[in-house]
Structure 1
């Protein structure tokens, strides 16, 4: 280990801040960096701690959206003054300056110290000392000349034996960090130990141990899942449940000796090693200045003030018709194939095997499209189900055929329609369903493993699926992006091509009508369960408050999954408009807040029995479908969903100018009309992920209330359109 790096300088034997730092003004807006090694190659993410003095008691750690590449096997720590130390996988020590606030790089190179800095962990006091804990448990202390420059000489000034109680605690700790002369050790809870953060005062002038006073406990009961800790400065501590599936939630504590919780969820979706740009003294920000990260060019034009949308409801396209398109596996049209449309009872409570009534038949056109009009007189059972479902009629369309080799191919699409007498909400939901599921449905092969009933997986098995793991992530990573085409309900790995049958790729094979065809004999509910489904979200940046309402009745479209062979695929959606008996949502959450709201919906796994070739061939297929709003016994009427606050803030600068508007201080704006965005990962049911969307109306709203800041306005923008059009959802700045 090199004892002297970059040229030795004389250093004091006592730890003291340089005169310039001693006079440093108290700071707010402390940069906080997270080394996310789950990304390919690793990335350094920058958050901003806007109110470190209070631990953001009424705010949050804000994701700036700024990143810089940092190798997965590198280590980093901060030195205060915007200096970031990086230890390369080869052990070289380098310094960088964060110039992102002025438009530069977050990792602007400053100095290459070289050397061999291969340590168990390394951290800084935020001024003129660096602690380095060796793998053999020995602590080495280095002095830094001119710490604010990032280029001063670094000299070893002390070595502390592994037997020192403080050093032993550092070795055993899950995380270690410092603020000035105070070193903190974090031990997570195990079994009956609740977990704690201890403080150790460091003094180079002390005789014997440089930690002469022993430890003081500053935080207790941090839990069993906390692995990370850091401080932006004296008096504030953050902890993080550090797990690679981004389930970790950051919590803040403030105080002098014994600290108490300031904010139980000050950050979400953070994963990796965390260090803050340590300050000697902390402050709260000015309440009248909107926080910005990086240079902001002046607006050339002022966006319009947000006003309530008075536009007419969009006219649903052919709400009295079922329609769709069937294609082969390669996307080419599936022409000339028979199509059968049968009712789907989304509100059905029966566990008996039923054969839903047929609502119509047709043949696919040359481009694979098809249309079946809704019967003028519905069967009694269908009429009853439609009334219970708010007026909308759900149906399943199926097309089948065979290849020249005799392989049976089956396509399915879940579609909706509404009679002209149905409420406007039902007709709008039909239009929204068509918008959400405008992709054609593919014909897929009926394989040998479908010719026998399968054993259903256990809850422990479905917990291993990709969908179940995504459900545990605390941030929305998928947004309105489509789900994977094929899902497994028991494993997270990508699924194989279902078109490979006996080593032959069948996706481009010509499919013709099948003699005798295939008919569904009946279907039976084999499992029920309630799952909380994201239906709406709110956003409130800076001084604003967010509210969402999901009142009186369901008004959502939820995708339906079908299992063909080993794969689950999404094939359309059901419209859910059944009555609710509660009012649910959240009100006045913020500032710096963005979360989904979820409601409990009952989902059913249904077994279908099919016969082909005049009854000579039987196969089984399974589907997962949503139904009624149903509160589980002793359960919540609604729950907070994933964090979506990363869509707010500086993302405003990348938004289309035509989508922008502003809300005057003390006023509010809400969306209560048109179609919301579609959540690609709205719910996990039986280990499978389904998407969902909501129809805004007087009982389903997203609302923002601006604060009363002096000479301030609150900017918002629509995701998909101008705010007076069809924005889907609006974001906040």
Structure 2
């Protein structure tokens, strides 16, 4: 049990303390077992994975590993598959099976082998469950309710050999035996209490995590300051007259200051999580003599919470040709061969106009309001305040829509900015109005267009950007007139939701829409921004502003270079992944606007500037899937505008991506978040049949057409999360290369469509 999680503040107002009385113990333990004279491990594991006196087939691979994830609003028990535990998955991975079930945030769990999961409920009762997912059943199938109150124990673990080690909050250690541990129904009997003064018990009490394998108990204590932490091994003994634990042995001392969690699937291997400075949930594995060899420093990602494995008495490696599958794999269904489309890129339509739709806060149309469209890239390199160039005006129709065509002759500054942006023109559409009570309401929509003479890539990017167009809401302007908002520094923005998510190694957002409102210094805002002085403005009628608002002036007040997700590759089993992002930027990145106290996403900017570099990765795998990021410069821009015949001055801020820019001493591109959880058998069997295909051995398949899947959390800039998408072409590709194995197909499937359609991205199994 991981103490970092186990010692969360319980729902009760104070920690509960409960000592088992004789009557309670009698009720809890239905029968009494004879205490054995000695307690020993199962036969030793041989080098080939077998045990002395036991055939190699008895040793286990494909060990279930469970994570109690309490990072969200509700606790969840997630199941991973430890495919090759004998080697610590030296060339493999912990596979996220996609199987999960609710488990109360304040409940605790541990495993005892044989697929039995023990849960101590928030009320302190002990229950057993069976994991039947391998045969299509439930992850937590109820077996027995032992009742009682186990809340007196701070840590409870089992080594899978019929013993439970339970450390009291008061310091002493109770050891219980389990009758018929394979069933989860046997009686539980206390056989020993070890004093709080015992060195092993002291180590358990001070540890950040404790786990057991057979008679071996392990304690993990994280490093402090510049000192590394350590994992120690303690051997438990029930021989009459012998000390309960052997002298401690240092197993490994390569544990960092953020390492809180450890576990083992069986003898000879253990894992830790959190060895990176930001507690990103990356797991590392250790094997070898004395368990001192680092086998894999990135064996799994996104592992946040208490972790226990379905402990085996000895470990083996799977067959070299076996495919990682949870349970029994169904027969391979017919699927087409994946063939890379080598035909010319389709000619994009001419997106030479700006379009959009404005609504009230409740989603109803905002009709009859004047719209002004202004070019925003004309000030992107200026440090002086400059007035934006107007490209046209319109009035919203009855359904809230509007349209402005590009001028036949572009202004010189717009023409110059478009040339530097690959031909695309980024602009902002403004709508200004007021309620009957004269509350100022402003709508903003960042839009893109390209003239017929623009390069094909620019027109294709603009066309793909408009596919994501969504109505833009008019929002109340609540900042005090004439007052600029204080801007937080990087230390303050480090506490924002966006910054916290950026530190997670797993892609938690995917294609999910970002929150409608974001704070740049804290979590997701919970207040309703439409409530102004106690009045709800979201459904109020909005009429044009008296005297209107003049053209926008803007000034860059800060810049940041942030690595932004632009692509991802996938290669499970016997395959390799490659990602190419060459020659030039080819992405659409969202723009955030601060109206009032919070930030909102209000459209996108098309980035098509020249890069003159090649980035990406080649032939990574097997069991590999990572996003790829490139450095883009983001600007925070202050906007000034006057309304009501120039009497009222207001300020607003926007965050906008710009040029590809490598920081001094920085890299041209780097690996992003882990996306292995989207691959594998669990995801494949849930995918639509029509999206599936296969790649022949020793051949490849690649995507080099159509817009990429949108990355919901592509970057965090100034404490705000922005999404992005990439246009596939001959310079921007996702590729998979199949290996030589022929025992199974190299299956792939498209996220949004069949792989020769518009899949966005493809996954691997």
Q: TM-score, normalised by structure 1?
A: 0.95
Moved over 4 A (4+): 17-22, 310-318
Alignment equivalent of 2:176, drawn from 123, 126, 142: 142
Match of 2:331 in 1: 298
Match of 1:610 in 2: 641
Which whole-Å deviations, capped at 9, do the CAs of 1:62-101 have from their partners, x for residues lacking one?
1111123322222221111222222233333322222111
Which whole-Å deviations, capped at 9, do the CAs of 1:32-84 have from their partners, x for residues lacking one?
11112334552211111001111111111111111233222222211112222
Match of 2:437 in 1: 405
Out of 585-594 and 442-451, give the one that drifted further.
Answer: 442-451
SS in 2 for 1:366: coil
CA RMSD of aligned residues (A): 2.2
Which whole-Å deviations, capped at 9, do the CAs of 1:689-725 have from their partners, x for residues lacking one?
1111000111111111112113321111111111111
Match of 1:87 in 2: 120
Match of 2:401 in 1: 369
1:171 aligns with 2:205: yes
Alignment equivalent of 1:162, drawn from 182, 196, 214: 196
1:62 aligns with 2:95: yes
How far, CA to CA, are the matches of 1:509 and 1:90 in structure 2? 49
Task: Tell me by how many angstroms 1:137 deviates.
Answer: 1.5
SS in 1 for 2:271: strand
Alignment equivalent of 1:530, drawn from 541, 561, 572: 561
Task: Tell me by how many angstroms 1:226 deviates.
Answer: 0.7
Which whole-Å deviations, capped at 9, do the CAs of 1:86-143 have from their partners, x for residues lacking one?
2233333322222111111222223333344331211112112221212222122222
1:125 aligns with 2:159: yes
- Please, which runs of 5 or more residues in structure 2 have no aligned partner? 1-19, 44-50
Q: Is the 8 A contact 1:198 1:218 kept in 2?
A: yes
Alignment equivalent of 2:38, drawn from 14, 18, 23: 14
How far, CA to CA, are the matches of 2:486 and 2:53 in structure 1? 69
How far, CA to CA, are the matches of 1:169 and 1:72 in structure 2? 26
1:387 aligns with 2:419: yes
Q: Is the 8 A contact 2:515 2:524 kept in 1?
A: no
Out of 559-568 and 80-89, give the one that drifted further.
Answer: 80-89
TM-aligned CA distance change 1:192 to 1:445, over 3 Å: closer
Alignment equivalent of 1:504, drawn from 535, 538, 546: 535
How far, CA to CA, are the matches of 1:716 and 1:246 in structure 2? 32
Mapping 1:535-550, distance limit 5 Å: 535-550=566-581
Q: Is the 8 A contact 1:242 1:272 kept in 2?
A: no
Q: Is the 8 A contact 2:441 2:476 kept in 1?
A: yes
Alignment equivalent of 2:231, drawn from 182, 192, 197: 197
Alignment equivalent of 1:273, drawn from 288, 306, 323: 306
Q: Is the 8 A contact 1:526 1:607 kept in 2?
A: yes
Task: Tell me by how many angstroms 1:559 deviates.
Answer: 0.7
How far, CA to CA, are the matches of 1:569 and 1:56 in structure 2? 42
Alignment equivalent of 1:250, drawn from 261, 264, 283: 283
SS in 2 for 1:73: coil
Match of 2:520 in 1: 489
How far, CA to CA, are the matches of 1:176 and 1:415 in structure 2? 55
How far, CA to CA, are the matches of 1:314 and 1:278 in structure 2? 55
Task: Tell me by how many angstroms 1:22 deviates.
Answer: 7.1
Out of 491-500 and 532-541, give the one that drifted further.
Answer: 491-500
How far, CA to CA, are the matches of 1:191 and 1:246 in structure 2? 15
Task: Tell me by how many angstroms 1:472 deviates.
Answer: 1.5
Match of 1:473 in 2: 504
Match of 1:36 in 2: 69
Alignment equivalent of 1:233, drawn from 245, 266, 270: 266
TM-aligned CA distance change 1:258 to 1:61, over 3 Å: closer
Match of 1:210 in 2: 244
Match of 2:14 in 1: none
SS in 1 for 2:387: coil
Match of 1:695 in 2: 727
TM-aligned CA distance change 1:41 to 1:427, over 3 Å: closer
SS in 2 for 1:677: coil
Q: Is the 8 A contact 2:280 2:505 kept in 1?
A: yes
Q: Is the 8 A contact 1:346 1:627 kept in 2?
A: no
Alignment equivalent of 2:392, drawn from 360, 363, 368: 360
Task: Tell me by how many angstroms 1:306 deviates.
Answer: 0.4
- Please, which runs of 5 or more residues in structure 1 have no aligned partner? none
1:656 aligns with 2:688: yes
Match of 1:429 in 2: 461
Out of 488-497 and 411-420, give the one that drifted further.
Answer: 488-497
Match of 1:444 in 2: 475
TM-aligned CA distance change 1:507 to 1:315, over 3 Å: farther
1:717 aligns with 2:749: yes
Q: Is the 8 A contact 2:497 2:524 kept in 1?
A: yes
How far, CA to CA, are the matches of 2:508 and 2:64 in structure 1? 23
How far, CA to CA, are the matches of 1:281 and 1:597 in structure 2? 38
Out of 283-292 and 528-537, give the one that drifted further.
Answer: 283-292
Mapping 1:615-626, distance limit 5 Å: 615-626=646-657
Q: Is the 8 A contact 2:379 2:555 kept in 1?
A: no
How far, CA to CA, are the matches of 2:763 and 2:375 in structure 1? 38
Match of 1:324 in 2: 356
Which whole-Å deviations, capped at 9, do the CAs of 1:603-624 have from their partners, x for residues lacking one?
0011111011221111111111
How far, CA to CA, are the matches of 1:255 and 1:195 in structure 2? 19
Task: Tell me by how many angstroms 1:499 deviates.
Answer: 2.2
SS in 2 for 1:275: strand
Q: Is the 8 A contact 1:21 1:127 kept in 2?
A: no
TM-aligned CA distance change 1:481 to 1:68, over 3 Å: closer
Match of 2:489 in 1: 458
Q: TM-score, normalised by structure 2?
A: 0.92
Out of 144-153 and 30-39, give the one that drifted further.
Answer: 144-153
Q: Is the 8 A contact 2:378 2:414 kept in 1?
A: no
Task: Tell me by how many angstroms 1:246 deviates.
Answer: 7.2
How far, CA to CA, are the matches of 2:499 and 2:411 in structure 1? 39
How far, CA to CA, are the matches of 2:437 and 2:154 in structure 1? 63
Which whole-Å deviations, capped at 9, do the CAs of 1:202-234 have from their partners, x for residues lacking one?
22226342223x111111121000111111111
Q: Is the 8 A contact 1:131 1:141 kept in 2?
A: yes
How far, CA to CA, are the matches of 1:120 and 1:412 in structure 2? 53
Q: Is the 8 A contact 1:79 1:85 kept in 2?
A: yes
Aligned residues: 730
Out of 251-260 and 661-670, give the one that drifted further.
Answer: 251-260
TM-aligned CA distance change 1:507 to 1:117, over 3 Å: closer
Out of 105-114 and 353-362, give the one that drifted further.
Answer: 105-114
Q: Is the 8 A contact 2:36 2:238 kept in 1?
A: no
SS in 2 for 1:571: strand
How far, CA to CA, are the matches of 2:759 and 2:195 in structure 1? 63
TM-aligned CA distance change 1:73 to 1:23, over 3 Å: farther
Which whole-Å deviations, capped at 9, do the CAs of 1:652-701 have from their partners, x for residues lacking one?
11111111111111111110111011111111111111111000111111
Q: Is the 8 A contact 2:259 2:279 kept in 1?
A: no
Task: Tell me by how many angstroms 1:497 deviates.
Answer: 2.4
SS in 2 for 1:449: coil
How far, CA to CA, are the matches of 1:501 and 1:106 in structure 2? 48
